[in-house]
Amino acid sequence: MNYIEPHAHMVSRTTADYQAIVQAGCVALCEPAFWAGFDRASVAGFHDYYRQLTEYEPARAAKFGLPHYTWLCINPKEAEDAGFAREVMALIPEFLDKPNVLGIGEIGLNKNTRNELAIFEEHVDLAKTHDLPILIHTPHLEDKLKGTKLILDSLKNAQVDPDKVIIDHVEEHTTGLVLDAGYWAGMTLYPESKCTAARAIDILETFGMERVWMNSACDWGISDPLAVIKCAVEMRRRKHTQEMIDRVILENPRAFLSQSPNFKS
């Protein structure tokens, strides 16, 4: 089966992972800017990270014939120091004309603080100024519902086009809120704090296959870069048609990502 991996942090993965996902049928991969596994101490560190996402990782993926795309931001884990975050954000326009950049992300909330929300809103303004899609991170576990509601309220106030926004890491109690507000919803197949394959398919069967994608978000933690294709196999076992499977793992992400002129896969 061909599929798109719309959210994977390949800077934390080995070349063997690239080889495995290509062999599994991945035709394009998207990497949002994220946490480095530790808090970066300087603006220069982010400049090097953005170079890694726009120069080195695309070259590494190309060795396996895999198109690599990226999103840029300072993620919410490092946004509590608003002054530092704004210095980092000032770098982003320098990289927006790179050929693999899709938009702004993954922005959002981590602990639902005022500073995180302020930096989130400034990222949204940056995306609107440059007419770019937005990929949003919602908090984990007990903070998810509150954080999702804060994000939805902020987006409404900013009058953002819902078609150009995907709100990621949805679960059973937030999927309906996101879809009912007109946004796209991303389900993250992660073994610890997000969705198992079985839960993700339950969500699909409850809320439908429209405006939804699945991703692995594989990163520094315990995670699986093959999670999307494994979930597709489980969908087949649960008697979903190949048409439905293709919609979720290939056609839906392609439809959303194609709103960026740089996405050509």
Distance, CA of 260 to CA of 213 (rounded, Å): 17
Question: Can you give the pLDDT at residue 191?
Answer: 81
Give the pLDDT mean for 99-108. Answer: 98
Question: Can you give the pLDDT at residue 192?
Answer: 73
Q: Is it the case that residue 112 has pLDDT exceeding 80?
A: yes
Q: Is it the case that residue 194 has pLDDT exceeding 90?
A: no
Calculate the average pLDDT of the chain: 96
Give the pLDDT mean for 240-261. Answer: 98
Q: Could you tell me the residue ranges of all domains in the chain?
A: 3-257
Instruction: Write out pLDDT tens, residues 212-224.
Output: 999 999 999 899 9
Q: Is it the case that residue 189 has pLDDT exceeding 90?
A: yes
Q: Is the CATH number of domain 3-257 3.20.20.140?
A: yes
Specify the residue for token string 């100024």: 129
Distance, CA of 175 to CA of 183 (rounded, Å): 10
Question: Can you give the pLDDT at residue 230?
Answer: 97
Question: Can you give the pLDDT at residue 134?
Answer: 98
Residue 206 near residue 231 (C-beta atoms within 8 A): no
- Pairing assessment for the beta strands 165-167 and 184-188 based on DSSP bridges: parallel
Rg (alpha carbons) of the chain, rounded to whole number: 17
- pLDDT band of residue 159 (cuts 50, 70, 90) is very high
In degrees and rounded to multiples of 5, residue 193 shows phi and psi of -110, 0
